[in-house]
Structure 1
Amino acid sequence: MSGRLIALAAVIAAFGALSTVALMDVGYFGIIEPHFQSWGAAQVFFDLVIVCLLACIWMVNDARERGLAVWPFIALTLVAGSFGPLAYLAMRELRGAEKRVTGTAAAR
């Protein structure tokens, strides 16, 4: 297992734990609601929306180059934000590791 994959797994686990606690505390709409109570909070919300949209564009382009299915990760991004790109990066790393192992075995 690569260092990048271990780091991604740790980030996904930690962010997942934080998200679980937040959802249990205030619910899905409770996470979004404070972002409409001030201009500063709205700025943070729309900043995150822009970053997620840019990540979706990057994922589509990267997936085309690599021949990967990207739509599950786009859907996950639309529903769960950063989990989509994080999961895509983990899958991409796993796929790269498979190719490196297969390429090494084929070279023998």
Structure 2
Amino acid sequence: MRTALILITAAFGAFSLYAMWQVGFIGLWQGGLANIGAQQITLDLIVSSLLLIGFVARDCRAQGRPWWPWALLTLAAGSFGTLAYLLLAAPRQHRARMPASASASA
């Protein structure tokens, strides 16, 4: 799973940098608001990001960690915030749940 997340983040990051280089940050938003179809996709992505922030917040609260840095990152950088959470914060949760015998062999 972690390898897939790394590959997705790298590929999407490369594509995002290329798009930003081509049209700039403002150009990305102009394209996303250019017509009703683009507006629907942009709104759908905003709704999805807000839902993901809710899941991250619930997960962080359950672990006693602050959720707001991940929310700010998601609001500023879109899915990169959630991808960063899954890559950097979520793995600690899974390691903590592993039995002692499994963590010794990992």
TM-score category, normalised to shorter length: 0.7 to 0.9
| Residue of 15, 19, 40 corresponding to 2:37 | 40
1:65 aligns with 2:62: yes
Partner AA of 1:53 in structure 2: L
How many residues are aligned here? 103
Percent of counterpart pairs with the same letter? 38
DSSP 3-state at the match of 1:37: coil
Q: CA RMSD in A?
A: 2.0
Q: Name the structure, 1 or 2, with higher relative contact order (CA <8 Å, separation 6+).
A: 1
Aligned residue runs from structure 1 range 6-45, under 5 A:
6-45=3-42
Q: 1:90 — aligned with what?
A: 87
Partner AA of 2:27 in structure 1: G
The answer for unaligned runs of 5 or more in structure 1 is none
**What's the TM-score once normalised by structure 2's chain length?**
0.84
